[in-house]
Amino acid sequence: MTAALRIGTRGSALALAQTGVMADAIAKASGLEVEIVPIASEGDHSTASLASLGGTGVFASRLREALIADTCDLVVHSLKDLPTAPYPGLRIGAVPKRADARDVLSARDGLTLDGLDVGARVGTGSPRRAAQLRALRPEVEVVDIRGNVDTRLRKVTDGELDAVILAAAGLGRLGRLDAVTEYFELSRWATAPGQGALAIEVREHYSAEFGAMLKAIDHPSTRMAVFAERAVLARLEAGCSAPIGASAVLDGEMLFLTATVYASDGSNSLTSSHALVVEGSATERALLPDELGARVGDELLRLGAAELAPLGTDQ
């Protein structure tokens, strides 16, 4: 490996915070100095909605280009923002241990979702969260918003919105869990495939020393769970911003996966759950998340997911 490892990341406060945590882990695992390289993307500058920009994959594109161009040696992504389609010349080298996968509410006056008034204005930039909100509280107004975490929270404190819905993991990494007024349990409120997890993306070919570093920061059970969740997206040919929630967990030798597809207006949803025994060789075990995700995705398609939601094509 080189004298210093260059870690590419978006320049937002959240991206820099989570990359800083990974930089410490990478430095410890490799014994090398690390350099954080902020890289701007179209998504960071545009004020248009994520759906109109082509989904959250817009944030990954510039990082991947920088990695291919050797501007950096690896990049750190929020896994839920990473498209499932393979990118030529790159691979996910490591998936560190997952943080809290739940969504949370941050509302004025400490309110919960059920406590919001009729007509309350709730902000989110996620089609999935918007669909879930319309299903559970059809009498509130969903407001499409963009901006970093502080900008979104400020819309509540300034009175522009009554509440916003955010990811617990992001608030935790920024030290802003004090803003949470309610945690949404996964059994009631499914979250995005890969939410709470990070992905370390690297070029396909690297040295044995680099591979040892990646192995040291990888968390195998997290990798298996999030790859199963992402396999549902891939089977449905759905982009990162599609109204789909998924949750997988490895419990002993069983891998469980549940996924839900929502109608955009919240009027309906479809859910599928399956499980597999985790057994066989390392190569066979590595294929299980794809198999499980395909089973769940196939059942959702049989139930009518393609007619229910705007799945589109993965970006």
Residues annotated as part of the active site:
81
**How far does CA 201 lie from the centroid of its chain?**
14
* DSSP three-state, residue 232: helix
* Helix (H/G/I), strand (E/B), else coil: 173: helix
Alpha helix stretches (DSSP H) within the chain: 13-30, 42-45, 50-53, 58-68, 127-136, 149-157, 168-173, 208-217, 220-236, 282-303, 305-308
Residue 39 CA from chain centroid, whole number: 19
Measured N-to-C along each axis, helices 208-217 and 13-30 cross at an angle, to the nearest 10 degrees, of 120
118: exposed, middle or buried (Cβ count in 10 Å: 0-12, 13-18, 19+)? exposed
